[in-house]
Chain A
Amino acid sequence: MTLNRNLKNIFLVIFATLILSACSTAKKSGNIDGDVYTGKATVEYLASGVPDRVFFATNKSSLTTKSRETLRKQAKYLRKNKNLNVTIEGHADERGTREYNLALGERRANAAKDYLMTYGISGKRISTISYGKEKPVNPDSSPLAWSQNRRSVTVKVN
């Protein structure tokens, strides 16, 4: 069963890679990998070199390699600034039902929180809130905007 699933995943990855390479020009221009945003257009910084947000694929809350890298930077920053507490805001794009998006935003915020905790940041220093699709950072109705809106943002609270 697991083997099966792994195999399936491998095929999916190969398939996705094929698709991606097939239309790499389009992807590059939009800063989207798969449908995860990889650009910097909307990103703000907690400190120099510490991006405040990570991006997600449609309907997903799993962290990409790049997201984990960003969160490790956040964890390092939080370890250095021991008195700092943060809220992680989870968001969804406008292409889902409102209630499900609230749950999805909460799951995304917690995915980021859990990762910070595995790097030694106390859960007590991190609160989460979901805004679902209510607070788009980019109000456009386009795949690029949607990819920028599927995000979790770490915000300083003190």
Chain B
Amino acid sequence: MKKTLLFIIFCFFNFNSSIALIKVDITRGNLDPLPIAVSPLHVDIKSENLEGLKVKELGNNISEIIERNFKNTGLFNPLKKEAFVQKPDIAHIKPRFEDWRLIKAQALVTGKLLVKNGKLKVEFRLWDLTASKEITALAFTTTPSNWRRVAHIISDKIYERLTGEEGYFDTRIIYVAESGPKNQREKKLAIMDQDGANTKYLTLGNELVLTPRFNPTNQMVTYLSYFRNMPRVYLLDIETGMQEVVGNFPGMTFAPRFSPDGKKIIMSFAEDGNSDIYTMDLETRIVERITNHSSIDTSPSFSPDGKYIVFNSDRSGLQQIYVMRSDGSDVKRITFDKGIYGTPVWSPRGDLIAFTKMRKGRFYIGVMRVDGTGERLLTENFYQEAPSWSPNGRVLVFYRETKSGKKGEGFSAKLWSIDITGYNERRLNTKTDGSDPSWSSLLSK
């Protein structure tokens, strides 16, 4: 994964300081998405042909990925290409703003690409059609097989320019790919681009695997495996495929996550019927016990500054959410509403905690402030849980299971996402059924 990060950004056009008139507000549900025209990138006729890559179609394909990314945000309305009035190469040099405004576009993306000497050179420009000027431009060079990532990086740059927030398109999602009947599921670790492309399986399905989570640099994954029928937390290097058991615990370890600096794994260890929270330092191998209570303490998640841990515990009788300092002191219950709460995850922005709530036989994904106030339930369903944050803290991905019939027929598990505004709920594109999604950070950061 690391090697694909070799992007050379060779020039940054100097228009960055100009003021855009268009702006997309992502803090509320957007019922009036910004009309944007994504012109196909012009393919330079001097481009070489490459085996396994249709260079001529690359300009179109990149623009389509950008469009799909934008459409999926719910914040943008990519306009139909049939209505486009200018050829891609000319539009890229100097768009006729009034023509683009005529088809009701407010922003325009143009670009061109060249494949030469085994390298892919891409440049793009973002035009503010209301102010009639270029507001962002960027060019970079990479290996041609990286073309999908080029599309995602362009999407991120444009999203950033128009919303003022970091994007989340050049990211991956790791999850558990599921197949087979409900009472005999085969589960494998799978990784894919955020848009569902490039699915790769990291385990073979010989043993049950659950709850994979990325480290902050996205090169390592921690997860639960039933290898040799011993449920233990594992650490996997995605690049090398090397894996190891985390710690030397005499019983089940589960619910692992990385600390925000990536140096520790926090998890639960179950002994004699009691689950408590522990950390292990990956370098020194020092294990620390964080909670010591006769109740179930699990699903721990660090605050982004590493100072606090949110977790769930049934010490009050039923599952509720608690926050404590990272040394285990100062435990405070933060959920008091009717219903039970699980899977708390701290937002990467630090401002919110996402959770699963169960009440009267229904399952909700929600967010609340870190002191438990301001609870907002975003989606209700028969069964859904395990939210994971987009790196910009604006979108949650989670999984949903359907109600099944007598023999388990009609059962499915799918990945879904929803904006924290409560809008834009949509199903993610996965090759198989999926569960336990975990969103990476931005790959090209």
Which residues of chain A have a CB within 8 Å of any CB of chain B?
A: 59, 61, 94-100, 102-104, 106-107, 109-111, 113-114, 129-131, 134-142
The answer to the question of B315 belonging to the interface, with a C-beta cut-off of 8 Å to chain A, is no
> Could you tell me if A103 and B296 are in contact, using CB atoms closer than 8 angstroms?
yes
- Docked complex Cα distance between A29 and B228 (Å): 40
> Could you tell me if A100 and B296 are in contact, using CB atoms closer than 8 angstroms?
yes
> Could you tell me if B298 and A99 are in contact, using CB atoms closer than 8 angstroms?
yes
Within 8 A of A (CB), among B364-419: 382-383, 385-386, 401, 403-408, 411
CB proximity of A151 to chain B, nearest CB, Å: 13
30 contacts between A and B (CB under 8 A): A59-B314, A59-B340, A94-B383, A94-B401, A95-B361, A96-B319, A97-B358, A97-B385, A98-B211, A98-B386, A99-B255, A99-B298, A99-B342, A100-B296, A100-B342, A102-B255, A103-B254, A107-B275, A109-B273, A129-B230, A129-B252, A134-B185, A136-B182, A139-B181, A139-B411, A140-B406, A140-B407, A141-B403, A141-B405, A141-B411
User: Number of A-B pairs whose CB atoms are under 8 Å?
Assistant: 109
- Docked complex Cα distance between A135 and B208 (Å): 10
CB proximity of B257 to chain A, nearest CB, Å: 10
On chain B, the residues within 8 Å of A135 by CB distance are 183
On chain A, the residues within 8 Å of B312 by CB distance are 97, 100
> Could you tell me if A129 and B296 are in contact, using CB atoms closer than 8 angstroms?
no
The answer to the question of B63 belonging to the interface, with a C-beta cut-off of 8 Å to chain A, is no
- Docked complex Cα distance between A129 and B319 (Å): 22
- Docked complex Cα distance between A142 and B406 (Å): 8
On chain A, the residues within 8 Å of B230 by CB distance are 129
CB proximity of A53 to chain B, nearest CB, Å: 15
- In the complex with contacts A59-B314, A103-B268, A130-B252 CB distance below 8 A: yes
CB proximity of A7 to chain B, nearest CB, Å: 17
Partner of B231, one of A97, A98, A110, A130: A130
> Could you tell me if B383 and A110 are in contact, using CB atoms closer than 8 angstroms?
no
> Could you tell me if A99 and B211 are in contact, using CB atoms closer than 8 angstroms?
yes
- Docked complex Cα distance between A126 and B252 (Å): 15
Q: Which 10 residue pairs across A and B have the least CB separation, nearest first? A: A139-B408, A110-B273, A97-B342, A103-B275, A139-B182, A103-B296, A106-B270, A99-B255, A141-B403, A139-B183
Contact with A along B344-378 (1 / 0, CB 8 A): 00000000000010100100000000000000000
On chain A, the residues within 8 Å of B361 by CB distance are 95
Within 8 A of A (CB), among B234-278: 251-252, 254-255, 268, 270, 272-275
> Could you tell me if B275 and A106 are in contact, using CB atoms closer than 8 angstroms?
yes
On chain A, the residues within 8 Å of B272 by CB distance are 110
> Could you tell me if B255 and A107 are in contact, using CB atoms closer than 8 angstroms?
no
- In the complex with contacts A96-B342, A97-B299, A97-B342, A102-B407 CB distance below 8 A: no
Partner of B299, one of A100, A131, A136: A100
> Could you tell me if A137 and B183 are in contact, using CB atoms closer than 8 angstroms?
yes
Within 8 A of A (CB), among B187-220: 208, 210-211
Q: Which residue of B lies closest to A145 (CB)?
A: B406
On chain A, the residues within 8 Å of B404 by CB distance are 139-141
> Could you tell me if B229 and A99 are in contact, using CB atoms closer than 8 angstroms?
no
